[in-house]
Amino acid sequence: MNQVLLAGDDFFHVPTLEEFFPEAIFGAGTFYEFNRIQLVRLVVVLILVGGLMLVASRAKLVPSRGQSMVEAVIGYVRKDIIEDVIGAREAKPYIPMLTTIFFTVFAMNLAGVVPGLNIAGTSVIGIPLLLALWTFVTYMVAGIKKHGVGHFLKNSAMPPGLPKLVYLILTPIELLQLFVIRWASLTVRLLANMFSGHMMLLVFIGITEALIVFSDHWALKGVGVLAFFTTLGFTFFEAFVALLQAFIFTLLSAVYIQMALADEH
């Protein structure tokens, strides 16, 4: 048993950061470098866009099961997230954007538990940062368009009714939040959750394989069976986290847009 437990890398492969920086499939070291994570993202986009186009092309007055599911999700995002936060009248221009963000984040997240893909497209910073900056640009444009540059910045950085000395401390903090913290927190929250989830799943899978396949002791194989069911449960939990993070990202994006449109904070 001791030899099994001390067998090192032959017994259990410890996941490292290299999982998120795979070797290039082609174009190594160039601007056009293409690796496995980018391939996963491409596959997710093709499946997502193709699936939605297929449902749309076959839409009927009496919806099929697939059409009903897609319409239910779109309706929930529109009514219970976007319109509830921004308001039915002002939300209309932002529904396509926020719905796209929801589906993109959810699909990219879900790739982490799909056999053959096995890594979330959001577990590396590119996609989270791109979507967060899209939100940043949108709420900045929305606020400036409605209030004008000066009034928007004053409204965001100088809440009314406070003593003047408080603004010396509060205004820089509010400006930092407006220009940096909001989009940075969106990026880090999504990235950290999908990164840590992938690492934990790799650990559970590695332990399960090591105990069942490479162990020669019945007790360890029994523990391996328990680890397998734990891995299975954690996989379903990660699928739930994929949905939850899509909800949170979309909700916070809607909140930031609403704050930019509000007359006072």
pLDDT tens-place string over residues 45-69 = 999 999 999 999 988 888 888 899 9
pTM: 0.90
Work out how many domains the chain is built from and give that number: 1
Dihedral, 153, 155, 156, 161 alpha carbons, nearest 10:
130
Distances in whole angstroms, Cα of residue 249 to Cα of each of 165, 187, 253: 35, 9, 6
Instruction: Give the Cα separation of 263 and 147 in Å (integer).
Output: 8
Return the closest-CA partner of residue 124 out of 18, 7, 11, 2. 18
Torsions phi, psi for 125 (to 5 deg): -65, -20
**pLDDT band at residue 13, thresholds of 50, 70 and 90?**
low
Q: Which residue has the higher pLDDT, 14 or 228?
A: 228
Instruction: Give the Cα separation of 250 and 176 in Å (integer).
Output: 22
Residues 6 or more apart in contact with residue 232 via CB below 8 angstroms: none
Q: What is the pLDDT of residue 70?
A: 94
E-state strands within 15-171? 24-26, 34-35
- Residues 44 and 121 sit within 8 Å (Cβ to Cβ): yes
Instruction: Give the Cα separation of 214 and 220 in Å (integer).
Output: 10
Q: What share of the chain is helix, strand, coil (3-state, %, to 5)?
A: 80, 0, 20
Domain that holds residue 126: 2-261
Instruction: Give the Cα separation of 104 and 93 in Å (integer).
Output: 19
Q: Does the pLDDT of residue 3 top 60, yes or no? A: no
Q: Does the pLDDT of residue 213 top 80, yes or no? A: no
E-state strands within the chain? 24-26, 34-35
Distances in whole angstroms, Cα of residue 14 to Cα of each of 52, 116, 154, 196: 38, 20, 51, 14
Return the closest-CA partner of residue 262 out of 167, 171, 151. 151
Q: Does the pLDDT of residue 186 top 90, yes or no? A: yes
Q: Does the pLDDT of residue 8 top 50, yes or no? A: no
Report the Cα–Cα distance between both ends of the chain, in Å, rounded: 64
Q: What is the pLDDT of residue 6?
A: 39
